[in-house]
């Protein structure tokens, strides 16, 4: 059993996300909620980084390739001490610095700018390759969406990573099975996703992306096979934690009304 109370932290993160997105009237709330539990374990247990020294040379790198879930990353970074909580209030406000997609040089802890899907894994490959070339032992984690598994550039990066034996690279697929306009299997089917990654030469693990013990265990066992890049297919629920959002694709777009916001908070309390 994990020694950290992930449940409590994740609930708090979810509330912060809802507050930011309700106040800013922004979309992508369900995309944020599906990856909160993964981010919680990463930032409170797995990633070797120091919020007081965010540019330490040998820190683990984390790339949020699904940059539209950046509200979740802001919340988790502030909770882990990278910047004060008040900064979250500037999210998507005119004249402020926190945009709706992950952007480097906005707040400490954001390594890379993303937003257009399919870019994060290749940048992660570059970081992982540099570590190998320099004999450094930092690891590079890239969180990608299942929609990104439809993009050619993701598979170019996948081919390169296994060819160059980047076992210091970890892709985590936030596999919530919904994309912007419906079910992944109805729009551009990815099944069998596990075999696809395997056939590209990656060591694959599949987990319940909301089971903290499982997330912690699997992310603590890296590398899974020497010389192979690692991918964790995390089965998640889009909108996880808020009943009326769970597994509903329209919450990729909608922003919360006051009533909905209050109900969501009640559910999380």
Footprint of another protein on this chain (CB under 8 A)? 104, 111-116, 118-119, 121-131, 133-134, 152-153, 156-157, 159-160, 163
If the CB atoms of residues 77 and 131 are measured against another protein, the closer one turns out to be: 131
Q: How far is the CB of 23 from another protein (least distance, A)?
A: 27
Q: How far is the CB of 46 from another protein (least distance, A)?
A: 20
Q: How far is the CB of 200 from another protein (least distance, A)?
A: 12
If the CB atoms of residues 153 and 263 are measured against another protein, the closer one turns out to be: 153
Q: How far is the CB of 245 from another protein (least distance, A)?
A: 29
* Token pair 């590209």: residue: 200
How many Cα atoms occupy the beta-carbon half-sphere of 68 within 13 Å? 20
Beta-sheet strands, E only, within 153-211 = 169-175, 178-179, 182-183, 203-208
If the CB atoms of residues 40 and 140 are measured against another protein, the closer one turns out to be: 140
Q: What is the maximum span of the chain, computed from C-alpha positions, in angstroms?
A: 54
- Helices and strands, number each (H, E), in the chain: 9, 7
**Helix axes of 6-24 and 29-41: crossing angle, nearest 10 degrees:** 150
Q: How far is the CB of 117 from another protein (least distance, A)?
A: 10
- What token pair was written down for 118? 């399919």
If the CB atoms of residues 75 and 151 are measured against another protein, the closer one turns out to be: 151
If the CB atoms of residues 13 and 49 are measured against another protein, the closer one turns out to be: 49
If the CB atoms of residues 52 and 133 are measured against another protein, the closer one turns out to be: 133
Q: Is 231 helix (H, G, I), strand (E, B) or coil?
A: strand
Q: How far is the CB of 126 from another protein (least distance, A)?
A: 2
Beta-sheet strands, E only, within 200-268 = 203-208, 230-235
- What token pair was written down for 223? 């590398």
């Amino acid at each position: 059993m994990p020694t950290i109370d992930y449940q409590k932290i994740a609930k708090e993160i979810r509330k912060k996300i809802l507050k930011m997105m309700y106040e800013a009237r922004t979309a992508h709330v369900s995309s944020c909620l599906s990856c909160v539990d993964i981010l919680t374990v990463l930032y409170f247990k797995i990633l070797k980084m120091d919020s007081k020294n965010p540019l330490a040379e040998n820190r683990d790198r984390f790339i949020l390739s699904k940059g539209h879930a950046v509200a979740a990353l802001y919340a988790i970074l502030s909770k882990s001490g990278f910047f004060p909580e008040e900064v979250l209030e500037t999210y998507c406000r005119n004249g402020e610095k926190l945009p709706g997609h992950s952007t480097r040089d906005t707040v400490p802890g954001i390594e890379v700018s993303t937003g257009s899907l399919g870019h994060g894994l290749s940048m992660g490959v570059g970081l992982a390759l540099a570590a190998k070339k320099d004999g450094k032992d930092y690891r590079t984690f890239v969180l990608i969406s299942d929609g990104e598994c439809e993009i050619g550039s993701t598979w170019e990066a996948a081919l390169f990573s296994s060819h160059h034996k980047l076992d210091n690279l970890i892709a985590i697929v936030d596999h919530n099975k919904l994309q912007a306009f419906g079910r992944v299997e109805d729009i551009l089917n990815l099944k069998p996703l596990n075999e696809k990654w395997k056939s590209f030469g990656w060591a694959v693990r599949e987990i319940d992306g909301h089971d903290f013990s499982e997330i912690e265990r699997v992310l603590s066992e890296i590398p899974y096979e020497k010389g192979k890049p690692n991918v964790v297919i995390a089965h998640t629920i889009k909108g996880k934690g808020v009943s009326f959002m769970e597994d509903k694709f329209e919450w990729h777009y909608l922003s919360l009304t006051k009533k909905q916001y209050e109900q969501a908070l009640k559910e999380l309390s």
